[in-house]
Amino acid sequence: MQVVAVTIKDIARLSGVSITTVSRVLNNRPDVSAESRRKVEAVIASTNYIPNNSARELVRTDSTNIGLVVRGVSNPFYIDIIQAIESAVTDAGFTMVLQQIGSDKDEIAHGAIMQREKRLRGLIFLGGRFDYTPEDVTSITVPFVCCSYTNPYGTLLEGNYSSVSIADEDTAYEAVRYLIEKGHQRIAALITATNDRSISQLRYEGYVKALRDHGLESGGVICTESYDIRGAYEAMAAALQDKNSGDFTALFAISDNMAIGAMRALRDGGRRVPEDCSIIAIDGLELSAYIEPPLTTLCQPMEQMGRESVRQLLALMNGEGEHMQHILPTELREGRSVEKI
């Protein structure tokens, strides 16, 4: 990688912010407005700026660092994946450097800075946008793998990037078909948004397709503000207050976490699970097999997903691997949250 003489002054000028602000962004300080941060990150991503001290280190030594950018705070679904990635990275003699960013942050801009500052040899993105363009990813100049997601809304060519994920739309389709086979006709969906070009949109599309293929109308679409339990709880509680949106016998939730929040809201609203409302989800957290009632869910192979991402990254780093979209299978784990009607 070439060290280009872009200075922090240039970055400030190009972003239209002060040098202090650039420095704050580089050091990940919280005291920067979201807008300034976006501007600075965009400029950094579009140049080959390398912070001084890292440039110095880069010249002096080979790094063994592999970066893991985890987007989405505290998602319990990620724990087993992170553990599998760490173990595979360490086994291969590399060092895993982890950074977590909020789900409102841009992982590519963050990865581009991290690549330079931490002298990364490769990068794994865990959770991320589904709509990268080729231009978006030019700022990443080391091999990278998208873990748990792929690029259906973007314009990356299949032969130009690597990903390891499940087939989200198909898995959602399968979940909804399971409810239909149990006799449900009024099926609601609990998602974050219908058009956010994320895992939510993708799973929503699987839901819509399953209903359409079986000649059913939607039983309601409930959108949360976030992927967490509390957000799911609040969205479901609000939906139950609304006379027009409570008329469903089953719910498809896009994650176990959100299903658990929704189950609590259903109970607090006087509805029994599964007697008054069946629930199915996607993820397969260990814990959700132990709650009351045990959750019926389509399990993602977390550990395999982590290991496979590292295997693919190491192959790319060695110049051996072909880019590929590795799609892993899910497995239905039946609990007692779905009842035949």
Give the residues lining the site for a copy of itself (CB under 8 A).
27-30, 56-57, 60-62, 65, 73-74, 76, 79-80, 83, 86-87, 90-91, 93, 95-100, 117-118, 228-230, 233, 257, 260-261, 263-264, 267, 286-287, 290-292, 294
Helices 78-91 & 302-317, crossing angle to 10 degrees? Answer: 40
Question: Is the backbone of residue 148 left (phi > 0), alpha (psi -120 to 50) or beta?
Answer: left
In the complex, least distance from residue 292 CB atom to a copy of itself, rounded to whole angstroms = 5
In the complex, least distance from residue 332 CB atom to a copy of itself, rounded to whole angstroms = 20
Cβ closer to a copy of itself: 169 or 339?
339
Cβ closer to a copy of itself: 79 or 157?
79
In the complex, least distance from residue 323 CB atom to a copy of itself, rounded to whole angstroms = 27
CA–CA gap between residue 327 and residue 193 (Å, rounded)? 24
Cβ closer to a copy of itself: 151 or 297?
297
In the complex, least distance from residue 290 CB atom to a copy of itself, rounded to whole angstroms = 4
CB 63, CB 117: distance < 8 Å: no
Cβ closer to a copy of itself: 99 or 141?
99
CA–CA gap between residue 205 and residue 186 (Å, rounded)? 17
In the complex, least distance from residue 190 CB atom to a copy of itself, rounded to whole angstroms = 14
Cβ closer to a copy of itself: 83 or 138?
83
CB 332, CB 178: distance < 8 Å: yes
In the complex, least distance from residue 74 CB atom to a copy of itself, rounded to whole angstroms = 6
Q: Of 216, 189, 187, 214, whose CA–CA distance to 200 is shortest? A: 189
Cβ closer to a copy of itself: 107 or 117?
117
Q: Of 175, 206, 179, 173, whose CA–CA distance to 297 is shortest? A: 175
Cβ closer to a copy of itself: 14 or 40?
40
CA angle 48, 51, 57 (to 5 degrees): 105
CA angle 135, 57, 9 (to 5 degrees): 60
Burial 27-59 (b: 16+ CB within 10 A, else e): eeeeebeeebbbbbbbbbbeebbbbeebbeeee
In the complex, least distance from residue 263 CB atom to a copy of itself, rounded to whole angstroms = 7
Quote the tokens at residue 3. 């060290």
In the complex, least distance from residue 211 CB atom to a copy of itself, rounded to whole angstroms = 28
Please count the CA atoms within 13 angstroms of the CA of 35 that sit on its side-chain side.
Answer: 2
